[in-house]
A and B are shown apart, each in its own frame.
Chain A
Amino acid sequence: GENVEQHPSTLSVQEGDSAVIKCTYSDSASNYFPWYKQELGKRPQLIIDIRSNVGEKKDQRIAVTLNKTAKHFSLHITETQPEDSAVYFCAASKPGGGADGLTFGKGTHLIIQP
């Protein structure tokens, strides 16, 4: 099955700096890569996603890049703010015989230092 590796497990950056979180996946058939943000005790919330037919997608301060050849994708957050502090999960899914759940990375705890 699919295996998603996520790095780093913890990332501390100064407010205003950029943060980059990287994920790799194992199954070349995977074609959908969402990123979720989860604050303590709350639900995972989709912040951005990318499909395999594009290499980059941007939404204000958040961007995601995808390299299908290398099977990795990254989340970029610019001008970080204290409210960006949370755990971020990458995930991957692929077409299958029926509905497919997501395979998540282990998460990155992002800490924004004031």
Chain B
Amino acid sequence: DAMVIQNPRYQVTQFGKPVTLSCSQTLNHNVMYWYQQKSSQAPKLLFHYYDKDFNNEADTPDNFQSRRPNTSFCFLDIRSPGLGDAAMYLCATSREQGAQETQYFGPGTRLLVL
């Protein structure tokens, strides 16, 4: 009963080679989030979509972009991955916007940059 699905689970890319991570959800939630989690650290919010409205965190590098073509799918594009971008990337969803909405996480994509 996977609700938030991320593909691939593991992604290897080369330094500077664009890469796209994908997330899909079967919950019909309005909000989708992307978090970056480096080893032994807490997840850090990169950006989120409320429906089609994109909200970027102030300290998210320009190297990271996102697309949400429809309710179910959201993509994270890393235009020129650096070694420091190696991390677990977590997608999450919530039913509505608002601070008290529960967020449901996907299994994550672990990105390795060679």
Q: What bracket does the count of chain A residues touching chain B fall in?
A: 20 to 34
Measured between C-beta atoms, what is the minimum distance from A57 to chain B in Å?
13
Q: By the criterion of a CB under 8 Å from any partner CB, how many residues of chain B are at the interface?
A: 30
| A43–B2 alpha-carbon span in the complex (Å) | 12
How far is it, in angstroms, between the C-alpha of A97 and the C-alpha of B106 when the chains are bound? 25
Contact (Cβ within 8 A) B45 A106: no
Does B43 contact A99, Cβ atoms closer than 8 Å?
no
Closest B residue by C-beta to A105: B42
Cβ of B90: which chain A residues have Cβ within 8 Å of it?
43-44
> Which residues of the partner chain A approach B100 to less than 8 Å between Cβ atoms?
31-32, 51, 93
CA distance A112 to B42 in the complex (A): 21
Instruction: Give B93-107 as 1s and 0s: 1 = Cβ < 8 Å from A's Cβ atoms.
Output: 010011110111111
Give residues of chain B (1-56) contacting chain A, Cβ–Cβ below 8 Å: 4, 31, 33, 35, 40-45, 48-50, 53, 55
| Interface set, chain B 67-94, CB cutoff 8 A to A | 90, 94
Interface residue? A25 (CB, 8 A)? no
Contact A106–B41 (Cβ < 8 Å): yes
Pairwise interchain contact A45-B45, C-beta atoms closer than 8 A: no
Q: Are A93 and B99 in contact (CB-based, < 8 A)?
A: yes
Are B99 and A95 in contact (CB-based, < 8 A)?
yes
A interface residues with partner B (beta carbon < 8 Å): 30-32, 34, 36, 41-46, 49, 51, 89, 93-96, 98-107
Of the A-B pairs whose beta carbons lie under 8 Å apart in the complex, a sample of 29, sorted by A's number, is A32-B100, A36-B105, A43-B105, A43-B106, A44-B105, A45-B105, A46-B102, A46-B104, A51-B100, A93-B99, A95-B98, A98-B97, A99-B33, A99-B55, A99-B97, A99-B98, A100-B97, A100-B98, A100-B99, A101-B45, A101-B48, A102-B43, A102-B103, A103-B45, A104-B42, A104-B43, A105-B42, A107-B40, A107-B41
